Amino acid sequence: MTDAKTSTYVTLVSSDEYEFKILRSAATISGTIKKALDPMSGFRENAENRVDLPTINGVVLEKVCEYLYYNQKHAGSKDVSDMDIPPELCLELLIAADYLDV
């Protein structure tokens, strides 16, 4: 298994067991995920490169991952267009964003 310190990707797991492998650099935009993956934290998430998110379903987590990449791509940019967010996901995304500290 790859050493957690050098792992490029991490797996985010939704409440309905969907797995999303994303770049560690994108995932750690989230304050919550960053703390869980911190080598000094001692959390199993760092050792396994896997973060279970039991309060976030797959549809919402997919949009969160999309946002994390969007944020990483446009960091420091000005005049960035808004992401397309379906109205029916707005409340759940707001709750997830608060929990994930993004």
pLDDT digits (tens, 9 = 90+) for 13-44: 999 999 999 999 999 999 999 999 999 988 99
| Residue 5: predicted pLDDT | 55
Q: What is the pLDDT of residues 45-55, one digit of tens each?
A: 999 999 999 99
The mean per-residue pLDDT over the stretch 72-77 comes to 91
According to CATH, the topology of domain 9-100 is Potassium Channel Kv1.1; Chain A (3.30.710)
The mean per-residue pLDDT over the stretch 64-84 comes to 92
Question: Regarding predicted confidence, which is higher, 43 or 12?
Answer: 12
pLDDT beyond 50 at 2: no
Per domain, the residue ranges of the chain are: 9-100
Structure tokens at 4: 């957690």
- Give residue for tokens 């995932």: 27
Cβ contacts of 18-22, under 8 Å, gap ≥ 24: 18/58, 18/61, 18/62, 20/61, 20/62, 20/65, 22/65, 22/68, 22/69
Alpha-carbon torsion 79, 80, 85, 91, what sign? negative
Structure tokens at 83: 């992401």
